[in-house]
């Protein structure tokens, strides 16, 4: 059971979903779930496994749902339950139960590591991929030019695609794109980036495409303010709402005076990290 729960949790993480893992770590007296019993819940509130059933499990499942909706997401907590409605003691939550024992659970919120889709495999894409590799984060690559979506240039990419833009998006929807934390439009041709942007934003018009509480990947576009103004005009002409456009990051990267591809990579990956860790990168309050 433990192996099955862990395998399921890892599969959800691989799909870009947050997961809460609840594990029985200590027991005393008569309890329904022994040490090692586990359950896991994903962002869409599917769950598998058990920590013993009955009222205890109902409480744990309810807490898992709460943790999945909190922002910023906590890393987890330890809960101790007394399986008797008259249970007393430091940090013991009484339950309407006749078991009489105590159960201590570790509840861990697992957040999928960033998986960045680089839509454009030129100099900036290569530099960003190297920075992502250094952090142990995942990346995939799409470029309509086969030589720039090649495993020689991107040996650690999870996938390399040189499909046309239409062919690439014909295989995808917003839910499948949820495997990516961030999508960076880095194309060599502004018209390709504009086409990609329109394809992505049209996906967001379907409000039922993602589970409740989930969100799609962040979208960033490399380029100038004037480029973005042209993109906005084109998107609005196709019915894209202003709130969707406002959520797109352009130009990408923290303002650190970056010029070379390697410097741009530092700025972009730092911005992705700030979003991933829910940190305001512009705040003066920082610590070593």
39-76 pLDDT, tens digit each? 999 988 899 999 887 778 888 999 999 998 887 777 88
Please say whether the beta carbons of 178 and 12 come within 8 A.
no
Residue 109 CB-density burial (10 A; 0-12 exposed, 13-18 middle, 19+ buried):
middle
The structural domains of the chain, ordered by start, are 2-110 (no CATH), 115-276 (3.40.50.720)
Give every CB contact of residue 178 below 8 A, 6+ residues apart in sequence.
15, 16, 17, 210, 214, 216, 217
pLDDT band at 280 (very low <50, low <70, confident <90, very high): confident
Predicted confidence band of residue 25 (pLDDT cuts 50, 70, 90): very high
Residue 150 falls in which region: left (phi positive, over 0), alpha (psi -120 to 50) or beta: beta
Calpha distance 193→222 (Å, rounded): 9
**In 3-state terms, what secondary structure has residue 103?**
strand
Report d(CA 211, CA 42) in Å as an integer. Answer: 10
| pLDDT at site 282 | 73
| Structure-token pair, residue 148 | 């720039």
Query: How confident is residue 111, by pLDDT bands cut at 50, 70 and 90?
Result: confident
Q: What percent of the chain has pLDDT over 90?
A: 62
147 pLDDT higher than 70: yes
Phi, psi of 183 (to 5 degrees): -120, 120
**Would the pLDDT of 209 be above 70?**
no
8 Å CB contact between 123 and 147: no
What pLDDT is recorded for position 28? Answer: 84
Question: What's the chain's average pLDDT?
Answer: 87
Going by pLDDT thresholds of 50, 70 and 90, the confidence category of residue 87 is very low
């Amino acid at each position: 059971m433990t192996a099955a729960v862990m395998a399921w949790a890892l599969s959800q993480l691989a799909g870009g979903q947050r997961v809460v893992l609840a594990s029985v770590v200590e027991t005393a007296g008569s309890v329904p779930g022994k040490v090692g019993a586990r359950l896991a819940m994903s962002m869409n509130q599917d769950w598998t496994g058990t920590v013993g059933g009955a009222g205890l499990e109902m409480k744990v499942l309810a807490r898992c749902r709460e943790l999945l909706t909190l922002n910023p997401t906590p890393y987890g907590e330890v809960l101790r339950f007394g399986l008797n409605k008259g249970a007393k003691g430091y940090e013991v939550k009484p339950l309407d139960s006749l078991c009489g024992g105590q159960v201590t659970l570790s509840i861990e919120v697992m957040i999928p590591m960033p998986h960045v889709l680089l839509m454009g495999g030129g100099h900036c894409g290569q530099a960003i991929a190297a920075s992502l590799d250094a952090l142990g984060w995942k990346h995939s690559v799409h470029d309509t030019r086969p030589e720039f979506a090649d495993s020689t240039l991107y040996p650690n990419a999870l996938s390399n695609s040189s499909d046309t833009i239409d062919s690439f998006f014909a295989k995808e929807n917003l839910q499948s794109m949820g495997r990516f934390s961030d999508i960076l439009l880095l194309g060599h041709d502004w018209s390709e980036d504009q086409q990609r942007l329109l394809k992505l934003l049209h996906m967001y018009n379907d409000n039922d495409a993602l589970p409740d509480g989930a969100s799609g990947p962040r979208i960033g576009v490399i380029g100038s303010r004037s480029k973005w103004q042209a993109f906005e005009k084109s998107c609005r002409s196709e019915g894209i709402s202003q709130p969707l456009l406002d959520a797109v990051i352009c130009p990408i990267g923290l303002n650190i005076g970056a010029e070379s591809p390697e410097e741009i990579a530092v700025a972009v990956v730092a911005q992705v990290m700030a979003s991933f860790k829910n940190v305001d990168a512009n705040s003066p309050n920082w610590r070593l």
